[in-house]
Amino acid sequence: MTENNQSTIFENDPDSSSYEHKQSIDQLQEQFSKFGLTVNQCKVYIFLGKYGSKTAPEVCRALKLPRTETYHLLTTLQNKGIVSATFQHPIKFSALPLSNAIKSMVNTEKERIRKLEKQEEEVTKIWNTIPNYHNEPDLEKEDKFQMLQGENQIYGKINDMIRNTKKEFQIIGNEKDFLKFYHANFLEPLDKSDVDLKILTNSSDRTLYVYDDIDRTNVKKFPSTIGGNICFVIKDNEEILFFMKNSESGKENISAMWTNSSAMIYSKKLLFDLLWSKSKSIPL
């Protein structure tokens, strides 16, 4: 049992014996967030997984969480299928093995998407029962923009741009941006296509593995004098998405703007081409 005065791997005190695990904990929380888990849900699952079965009061004390929130977190994790409870009194909660927990969350997400896909036909049918009450001209060629908030919206839009790229795709971003792109598997379909791909980054040697499966002639490191908060992607000189707040701001706070404005694309393309000409290739 974890005593009240015993530190856990979640301690933030640099003098704590468990502080060395802080980076791994942070990385785990970031990965679990992609499955829809909150920070505290991650903490409870990791705690149960690493410290064994615990009662709700033990979880509450060890993680210094409010009592009511602790019960809510445990119930939510049970509903997600990654925490189980015993019939004994007091009830003890335990985490499913990681591989089983991931499979459970992935299957849940697949089922949710499957249901959404099945609803497409029904939604379209209902939509078409309502007549249009306007005669607006075709706006397809008008300059448009779209504000995007959070990773899901932004990365969904980038995926859409990548899938529809026909000729060329340019990306510029910092080390953290490309780590996120790597884990989201953005770059893989581009490298395996005939698209003219160009990547500008400030990645350090420790993260060059991100580009292992990419033709290194397509990757350059921009000068250190350039700020690390610049990040945008250009598709076929027809669309551009640029981050207003990038990965440095946290996954919930990042925001971006997409536009097909020819003037905006032209100015960003000039900047990209200038930086490309002044940047050095990344060695193999």
Asked whether the beta carbons of 45 and 93 are under 8 A apart, the reply is: no
pLDDT digits (tens, 9 = 90+) for 207-264: 888 888 888 889 999 887 777 688 999 999 999 999 986 555 555 578 899 999 999 9
**Domain 19-99 CATH assignment equals 1.20.950.20:** no
CA distance linking residue 173 with residue 1, whole number of Å: 46
pLDDT of residue 27 exceeding 60, the answer is yes
SS3 238: coil
Q: For residue 6, how many C-alpha atoms fall within 13 Å in the half-sphere facing its CB? A: 8
pLDDT digits (tens, 9 = 90+) for 108-146: 888 888 888 888 888 888 989 998 887 766 555 678 889
DSSP H helical segments within 98-213, as ranges?
98-128, 150-163, 175-183, 187-191
Q: The tokens 């009450």 sit on which residue?
A: 133
| pLDDT band at residue 15 using 50, 70 and 90 as cut-offs | low
DSSP assignment letter at 17: T
What pLDDT is recorded for position 234? 96
Q: For residue 40, how many C-alpha atoms fall within 13 Å in the half-sphere facing its CB? A: 17
Task: Map out the domains of the chain as residue ranges.
Answer: 19-99, 145-281
Of the candidate CATH numbers 3.30.870.10, 3.40.50.12780, 1.10.760.10, 3.40.50.970, the domain formed by 145-281 belongs to 3.30.870.10
